[in-house]
Structure 1
Amino acid sequence: MPENPTKPPLTIRLCQPRGFCAGVDRAIQIVVLALKKYGAPVYVRHEIVHNRYVVEGLQNLGAVFIEELNEIPDDHHECPVVFSAHGVPKSVPADAQARELFYLDATCPLVSKVHKQAMRHQRLGRHVLLIGHAGHPEVIGTMGQLPEGCVTLIETEADVANFEPADPEALGFVTQTTLSVEDTAGLIRALQKKFPEIKAAAAESICYATTNRQEAVKETAPGADLFLIVGAPNSSNSRRLVEVAERAGARMSLLVQRASEIPWDEIAGISTLGLSAGASAPEIIVDEIIDAFRERFEVSVDLAVTATETEDFPVMRVLRDVELTAADMAFVNGTV
């Protein structure tokens, strides 16, 4: 009888923290609580978080995802509409009020903090520079907090070089919360070199979860044959983790949404795998990917803990009287 083939050994360096942050957890919880309190449908403007698995799970519970408020049928105006965790321009709640819609704002409190920082700069007479990526919902939301012409988007050092303000001594900057810490630091240095009087935000804009996940990847990437980041292509923080892994020493880094996207033929000879997940990726997909590797390799998992997160953002008062079951909480936490 032929011998059973032996699986090749594989060490998985599993980052901790990874996956859902407090802002994502809160946003998903708001939709689940609204469905339990008010019944289906609950409308959600834009993806509540950038993850297809989460969106489809909420659709199965009765959430209806839309891009604009005019998509809500006239006979459904009494149904709640939830604004996504990325934040929205001021025009969106104003539109909701004009349409007499009942809305719940699931904007992450750390994104709301950036909105307040930008408005403070403007209130103090400063032109606002927003470091971020054009077209991202968070950037659209932050720019929409200020009157047109009061904020300029900075994506690259070329943007810094080309920017010529009316008053170089009346500038302030904020940043998108999900950027690469290193890239942002470089842009801030360029701004401060060109405009020595520019004012920073009163507090750090890049959120704790972005920083923590990037630091964990930096620690585990050196020497990894492959680094997998679980996340969606339109997730800014997940895409930044791919870049961080490559810069920190991983031979190859890939973004995958599910185990089915792993290019098995290209990675047959690996012996060390780094694994993390963006802030909107549920833990159940991390488990799915580890199980897929166990089918092909003799896996040992090394947990790389670089920080402990205890942040918890409460939902709005109108939903606090609703109780979630254990099954509800498992969904909210991304474990089912």
Structure 2
Amino acid sequence: MTARDIVLAEPRGFCAGVDRAIEIVERALEKFGAPIYVRHEIVHNTHVVGELKAKGAIFIEELADVPPGATLVFSAHGVSKAVQNEAKARGFRIFDATCPLVTKVHVEVAKLAREGYEFIMIGHKGHPEVEGTMGQLSEGIHLVEDVADVARVQPAQTERLAVVTQTTLSVDDAAAITAAVRERFPGIRQPKQQDICYATQNRQDAVKQLSGQVDVVIVVGSPTSSNSNRLRDLAVKLGTPAYMVDDASELQPAWFEGRQSVGLTAGASAPEVLVQQVIERLRLLGAVAVRKMDGIEETIKFPLPKGLKLGDAAAVSTPASTTPASA
């Protein structure tokens, strides 16, 4: 290996929504004891999910797999109205770990739907966040994944039409699709603030800066993590070879042959301990210097749901939906 320098992107790794979601599961385990059931992976990271499983969390996709009276946590990606209603009907104690920035999109969809709006949603088919947002309505919300889809979408009416976006998309790709939507539907209503979350934006901006300083980029993140995949894609698009790894064991020495510097970042659901393990592995392969890139310091913190905050007196004794306030 010839790469000697490691440049760390700033910011990288956990965002406030991920921190909050993990803490909700951990607090629920402390307060109510194992098992705690979690609908879908709490965040898309193999190591985080594995650690929570070891503590007593059980991850499920179907609510039929949750026993009556159990404690249930909705993942950070959000869930549909149908899932919310079924969970309440089954009598679970519910804590909603949906990222408040995703909840903001849900609230906007519900509000505008009451005013007669249809929606075009920009996102990836099958992603749980997209399923949760589209599932806020029984009809009138249409998914587009790329510019070509925009020409094919057929809303029932265009007088009241709004656009919403998956929060973890490529900022540049979403902008291109949004431009195509505006061109076809000039009167479409856009969010007052973009739906793509601050953490996704910040990590992509950091990779744009990082890519011009290094010979290869390593992204720490799991294959199911949308925002981690977008970081790798962005570096490649900018002309820098880039690879995504779940952990240090997946690094391949051949990636660094003939390259002087390595850029290192992590998706919003990847813990910092995995970044440090990658650094140690790169040191064993010959890296000798580590420096941090200048970047934005993130200070946002989202509150925990009622019933899990420190000082909350008693366990929640009746089924309760604890949807967070929008941010």
Q: TM-score, normalised by structure 1?
A: 0.90
More relative contact order in 1 or in 2 (CA 8 Å, sep 6+)?
Answer: 2
Corresponding position of 1:46:
40
How far did residue 78 of structure 1 move?
2.5
Say if 2:99 is the partner of 1:108.
yes
Corresponding position of 1:233:
223
Determine if contact 2:2/2:257 at 8 Å carries over to the other structure. Answer: no
Name which of 123, 143, 147 aligns with 2:114: 123
- Secondary structure at the residue paired with 2:293? strand
Determine if contact 1:129/1:174 at 8 Å carries over to the other structure. Answer: yes
Say if 2:199 is the partner of 1:205.
no
Determine if contact 2:20/2:302 at 8 Å carries over to the other structure. Answer: yes
> What percent of counterpart residues are identical?
48
Classify 1:254/1:150 alpha carbon distance in 2 versus 1 (closer, same or farther; 3 Å). Answer: same
Give runs of aligned pairs for residues 158-177 of structure 1, distance below 5 A. Answer: 158-177=148-167
Corresponding position of 2:323:
none
Deviations 1:81-126 (A, max 9, x none): 1000000001112111111111111000000001112222322222
Aligned residue type for 2:23? Q
Give runs of aligned pairs for residues 1-336 of structure 1, distance below 5 A. Answer: 8=2, 10-73=4-67, 77-147=68-138, 149-250=139-240, 252-321=241-310
How far did residue 265 of structure 1 move?
2.7
Pairwise CA RMSD of aligned residues?
1.4
How far did residue 253 of structure 1 move?
0.7
Aligned residue type for 1:117? E
Corresponding position of 1:3:
none
How far did residue 322 of structure 1 move?
5.8
State how far apart, in whole Å, the 2-side matches of 1:52 and 1:9 are: 28
How far did residue 8 of structure 1 move?
4.1
State how far apart, in whole Å, the 1-side matches of 2:303 and 2:151 are: 42
Q: TM-score, normalised by structure 2?
A: 0.92
Aligned residue type for 2:16? A
State how far apart, in whole Å, the 2-side matches of 1:177 and 1:84 are: 15
State how far apart, in whole Å, the 1-side matches of 2:18 and 2:33 are: 22
State how far apart, in whole Å, the 2-side matches of 1:82 and 1:291 are: 35
Determine if contact 1:43/1:81 at 8 Å carries over to the other structure. Answer: yes
Deviations 1:217-274 (A, max 9, x none): 0001025221111001111000000111112231x11111011111213432221111
Determine if contact 1:223/1:249 at 8 Å carries over to the other structure. Answer: no
Aligned residue type for 2:132? G
How far did residue 10 of structure 1 move?
1.3
Aligned residue type for 1:50? H
- Secondary structure at the residue paired with 1:166? coil
Unaligned runs of at least 5 residues, structure 1? 1-6, 324-336
Determine if contact 1:169/1:195 at 8 Å carries over to the other structure. Answer: no
- Secondary structure at the residue paired with 1:174? strand
- Secondary structure at the residue paired with 2:44? coil
State how far apart, in whole Å, the 1-side matches of 2:155 and 2:57 are: 44
Determine if contact 1:36/1:322 at 8 Å carries over to the other structure. Answer: no
State how far apart, in whole Å, the 1-side matches of 2:125 and 2:51 are: 29
Determine if contact 1:21/1:209 at 8 Å carries over to the other structure. Answer: yes
Aligned residue type for 1:213? R
Determine if contact 2:253/2:285 at 8 Å carries over to the other structure. Answer: no
State how far apart, in whole Å, the 1-side matches of 2:65 and 2:287 are: 51
Classify 1:151/1:181 alpha carbon distance in 2 versus 1 (closer, same or farther; 3 Å). Answer: same
Aligned residue type for 1:200? Q
Deviations 1:278-311 (A, max 9, x none): 0000000000000001011132112112211010
Aligned residue type for 1:118? V
